[in-house]
């Protein structure tokens, strides 16, 4: 039997490749005759860009850029397709993992370092940009990226604004110094959420607290993004507040949509096409996928759903593994997952469950292998 193992990362525990290897280990421990293909996936979240670079045997470029608070760090991006396409992982320069928990403050954090990576990719001759924007520490609407590329955000006195909390004073946006090379470029942003920019389901309200914003901070950030959108609409004719996915990565998706004409796409759909996943599905007899939690939200563009959707087009059985699954089943999930298994080995608190993810995956996969032999 040929098994395609295509999991997403298990957040706060294992990256997608480590998850795939653990599942493979369990299957082969039950029956060495299984033919396994490990095909770790990403849906726009942290790690997606690295997986795409690896799949295309891309070249990694290292550079010194600003972290979310302007401190110098070394970050990487990838070039594929003979250098024509730059794959940039926002988390590498502007990620929450770069910041100590006590330092988190999206009122001050910016995406400037990610823009620096884009500028360096332009210097290398890139014409296409693919941005995986998961895992950021920012709620700046992409203004940091745009500043690194030459855009200036000014208040009524002509003073340049840089920190997100100051953007309630935004009066005009000067694009005269925007890098002219971008006019010949294509920018694609991989999104793993559908949130819009503003309001109760917007970037500040939903993602701000995860990045350190207090309730008062959330209000300030939402007001700053609203002012940014208001001025942007006047100058570009594009309404950042209406675009689906616009709230992704603290509004980066909306900001680059308005000023770089970026294409906002479902992350997993783009990833699977970009990595030729269909070829691997065509050769498989069974597909195993998974991530930290699988529930009805998974059907809104998350990685395991994308995998299961492709598998079902070939009428393949799909097994989904997760730390958490619906207790009483779910009819909508049942359309795509033949079996959903929680990998835990009895009740455990979150910290313990996370620490045991690898051994639980191996054990569960071994049990699957034993069942398949019966």
Residues 6+ positions from 330 with CB-CB distance below 8 Å: 295, 296
Q: How many domains does the chain have?
A: 2
Residue 177 sits in a domain whose CATH number is 3.90.1510.10
State residue 45's pLDDT score: 84
Q: Is residue 278 part of a domain?
A: no
Q: Is residue 104 part of a domain?
A: yes
The answer to whether residue 255 sits within a structural domain is yes
Q: What integer pLDDT is reported at residue 336 of this predicted model?
A: 95
Tell me what pLDDT residue 38 has.
97
61 and 99 housed in the same domain: yes
Q: Are residues 117 and 147 in the same domain?
A: yes
> What pLDDT score does 46 carry?
83
Positions of the chain with pLDDT lower than 50, given as ranges: none
According to the model, what pLDDT value does residue 373 have? 77
Write the DSSP string, 84-142. TEEEEEHHHHHBGGGS-GGG--TTT---HHHHHHHHHHHHTT--EEEEE-TTB---STT
Based on the domain organization, do 157 and 205 belong to the same domain?
A: yes
- At a CB cut-off of 8 Å and minimum separation 6, what does 334 contact? none
Residue 291 lies in a domain: no
pLDDT, one tens digit per residue, over 245-260 is: 999 999 999 999 999 9
Q: Verify that 37 and 68 share a domain, yes or no.
A: no
Q: What is the pLDDT of residues 2-59, one digit of tens each?
A: 999 999 999 889 999 999 999 999 999 999 999 999 999 999 888 999 999 999 999 9
Q: Give the domain-ending residue among 214, 246, 268.
A: 268
CA distance 126 to 83: 6
Which DSSP letter does residue 202 get? Answer: S
Tell me which residue range forms the domain holding 333: 2-41+298-373
- How many helical (H) and strand (E) elements, i.e. helices and strands, does the chain have? 14, 13
Within a domain: 292: no
Q: Are residues 108 and 231 in the same domain?
A: yes
Closest of 45, 207, 51, 52 to residue 134, by C-alpha: 45
Q: Within a domain: residue 280?
A: no
Residue 343: predicted pLDDT: 94
Residue 281 included in any domain: no
Q: Are residues 258 and 204 in the same domain?
A: yes
152: three-class secondary structure by DSSP? strand
Nearest-angstrom CA–CA distance, 170 and 225: 10
Residues 260 and 187: beta-carbon distance below 8 Å: yes
> Cα angle vertex 47, ends 330, 299, to 5°?
20
Same domain, 70 and 33: no
Residue 289 lies in a domain: no
**Exposed, middle or buried, 136 (CB in 10 Å: 0-12/13-18/19+)?**
buried
CATH of the domain at 328: 3.40.50.10350
Specify whether 101 is located in the same domain as 29.
no
């Amino acid at each position: 039997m040929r098994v395609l193992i295509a999991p997403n990362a298990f957040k706060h525990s294992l990256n997608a490749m480590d998850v795939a290897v653990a599942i493979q280990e369990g299957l082969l421990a039950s029956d060495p005759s299984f033919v396994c293909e490990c095909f770790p996936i990403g849906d726009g979240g942290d790690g997606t860009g690295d997986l795409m670079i690896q799949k295309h045997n891309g070249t990694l470029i290292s550079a010194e850029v600003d972290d979310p608070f302007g401190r110098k760090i070394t970050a990487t991006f990838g070039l594929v397709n003979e250098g024509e396409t730059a794959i940039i992982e926002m988390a590498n320069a502007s990620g929450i993992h770069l910041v100590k928990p006590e330092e988190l403050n999206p009122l001050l954090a910016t995406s400037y370092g990610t823009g620096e990576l884009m500028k360096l990719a332009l210097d290398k001759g890139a014409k296409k940009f693919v941005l995986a924007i998961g895992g950021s520490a920012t709620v700046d609407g992409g203004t940091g990226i745009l500043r690194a590329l030459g855009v200036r955000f000014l208040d009524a006195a002509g003073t340049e604004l840089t920190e997100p909390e100051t953007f309630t004073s935004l009066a005009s946006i000067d694009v005269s110094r925007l890098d002219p090379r971008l006019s010949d470029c294509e920018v694609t942003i991989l999104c793993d959420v559908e949130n819009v920019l503003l309001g109760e389901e917007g970037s500040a309200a939903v993602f701000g607290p995860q990045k350190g914003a207090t309730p008062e901070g959330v209000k300030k950030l939402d007001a700053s993004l609203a002012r940014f959108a208001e001025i942007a609409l006047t100058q570009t004719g594009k309404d950042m507040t209406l675009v689906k996915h616009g709230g992704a990565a603290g509004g980066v998706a909306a900001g680059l949509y308005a000023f770089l004409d970026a294409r906002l796409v479902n992350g997993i759909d783009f990833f699977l096409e970009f990595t030729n996943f269909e070829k691997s599905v065509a050769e498989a007899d069974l597909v195993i996928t998974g991530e930290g939690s699988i529930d009805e939200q998974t059907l809104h563009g998350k990685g395991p759903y994308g995998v299961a959707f492709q598998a079902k087009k070939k009428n393949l059985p799909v097994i989904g593994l997760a730390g958490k699954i619906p207790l009483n089943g779910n009819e909508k999930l049942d359309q795509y997952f033949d079996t959903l298994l929680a990998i835990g080995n009895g009740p455990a608190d979150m910290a313990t469950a996370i620490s045991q993810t690898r051994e639980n995956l191996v054990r569960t996969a071994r049990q699957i292998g034993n069942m398949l032999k019966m």
